[in-house]
Amino acid sequence: MHLKIRHRTEYRYETPVRYSIQELRLTPTDVAGQTIEKWKIGTPIKASSSLDAFGNLYSVFVQESAYTSMMIEAEGEVMTQDAFEFLDAPKAVSPYHLLQQTNLTEPTAAMLEHFSASLPKSNSVDGVLELAAAVQRAILYFPGQTNSATTAAQSFAMKSGVCQDHAHIMLGLCRASGIPARYVSGYFFAEDSPNLASHAWIDFCADIDKGLWLSIDITNTCFTDVRHVRLAIGRDYYSAAPVKGVRSGGGGEELSASISITQLN
């Protein structure tokens, strides 16, 4: 597929923000299954770019002048192919680091009990796919009930959530089973489901020695394919978030985000 992506994020504040630092992981890179034809990010002031420990391209900008609104825009074109196998680059974060739980992924005893029959005994593809299907069946896809701070435990207690929650629950269960797993943020092209444009899924390590990861979309119960565009990987949503930051001042915050993905001829 040849996909055109537009991603716009706007913040509005009750009172002026005096100082802020924003960190963006909004730039996809050339990896298996995707080639970036063009890409640009628009920020209020010039941002500096670098690679983080996971190999994500991230940008940072600091605003020291007062403001009450801020716009961040990303736009570009990506060529995609079916791909769900990814090999670590040299000096990549060790898969063993991805066995550690985070506040967002930590499973409760009730979660482990509920999924006990589906917990993989090894990192076999069939076992992990069976677990993904069990998570998808147990957690009803229901937008609006959770947010970026919702933990796997909270989503499980409600038995509902979105792709991010599916991913966090899956990460917690994989790690509890001794399988390294990481969070993937990205985009998903579905003409009939535009609410899925901003998407999340997981990679699990199928071969630790080789650094081989397989990518599974829990929400759609499938391996990643031509519809998926990878943005960033991390331990959980927070470490791979497309946009995050800290600020001084501003009072209440209103956030609006819009993403459009179209297929080009």
What residues pair up with 4 in beta bridges, in sequence order? 77, 262
Closest-CA residue to 229 (of 76, 14, 49): 76
The SS3 assignment for 240 reads helix
Residue 194 binned pLDDT confidence (cut-offs 50, 70, 90) = low
- pLDDT value, residue 236: 98
Q: 136, 115 in Cβ contact below 8 A?
A: no
Q: Would you state the structure tokens that stand for residue 158, as one six-digit string?
A: 């409600």
Q: List the one residue out of 41, 26, 5 whose CA is nearest residue 240.
A: 26
For every residue of 157-198, DSSP letters joined together read HHTEE-HHHHHHHHHHHHHHTT--EEEEEEEE--TT-GGGSE
The CATH architecture one would assign to domain 85-240 is: Roll (3.10)
The SS3 of residue 226 is coil
* Class (C level, CATH) for 2-80+243-264: mainly beta
Distance CA 52, CA 59 (A): 10
Q: What is the pLDDT of residues 82-140, one digit of tens each?
A: 999 999 988 899 999 999 999 999 999 999 999 999 999 888 899 999 999 999 999 99
CA atoms within 13 A on the CB side of 111: 27
As a whole number, mean pLDDT of residues 14-21 equals 96
pLDDT of residue 195: 64
Q: What is the pLDDT of residues 25-52, one digit of tens each?
A: 999 999 999 999 999 999 999 999 999 9
Domain borders along the chain are 2-80+243-264, 85-240
pTM of the model: 0.95
The answer on pLDDT for 143 being more than 70 is yes
How far is Cα 83 from Cα 214, in angstroms, rounded to an integer?
A: 9
Ordered DSSP codes for 74-131: EEEEEEE----EEEPPTTPPPGGGGGS--TTTPPPHHHHHHTGGGS-SSS-HHHHHHH
